[in-house]
Amino acid sequence: MISTRENLLCRPWQQRKYEYHKKKVLSATPVIDTKSPPHRPHVALKLKKLQKEEERSRKIERDNLMLLQKLNYIMAKHWQDNYLPPQPTFLSRIGVYRSSESGLLEALAEGQDSKIQVCLILQKT
């Protein structure tokens, strides 16, 4: 137990120490930093990525221009007629055979052996 004399001497210091402690607790700041890190625009900007994207778009534009020029040249200079004559129908084949038959008869009448052979070959096809 504390004597009255010790209590009278120690009490003011203990009270002062307690008040000082309360004041420090009230003015205490948090120790853990919960703020976001400082913003660094040079890191967030990604200049190399932008440079690559610009180069790619320039290459695409250049290729498109070259293709457009080639198409323009083809359309202006190299017009091709890809029209193929139609295949003979049944009726036109009859006309071919009749003309070859008439040629055969003429060749027989005139006695031309080479023309007769050609007409016979045409009839077989």
User: Which residues lie below 8 Å from residue 96, measured CB to CB, with a gap of 6+?
Assistant: 88, 122
Give the model's pLDDT for residue 74.
Answer: 83
More confident site: 30 or 105: 30
Give the model's pLDDT for residue 121.
Answer: 56
Taking the complete model, does pTM exceed 0.85, yes or no? no
Give the model's pLDDT for residue 70.
Answer: 92
Residue 84 has pLDDT above 70, yes or no: yes
Q: What percent of the chain has a predicted confidence (pLDDT) above 90?
A: 29
Residue 108 has pLDDT above 70, yes or no: no
As a whole number of angstroms, the distance between CA 80 and CA 82 comes to 6
**pLDDT per residue over 21-66, tens digit each?**
999 999 998 888 888 888 888 888 899 999 999 999 999 999 999 9
Contact predicate 120/104, CB 8 Å? yes
Burial class, 102, CB count within 10 angstroms (exposed 0-12 / middle 13-18 / buried 19+): exposed
Residue 120 confidence class, pLDDT cut points 50, 70, 90: low
Lowest pLDDT segment from 11-25, 52-66, 100-114: 100-114
Q: Mean pLDDT of all residues in the chain?
A: 78
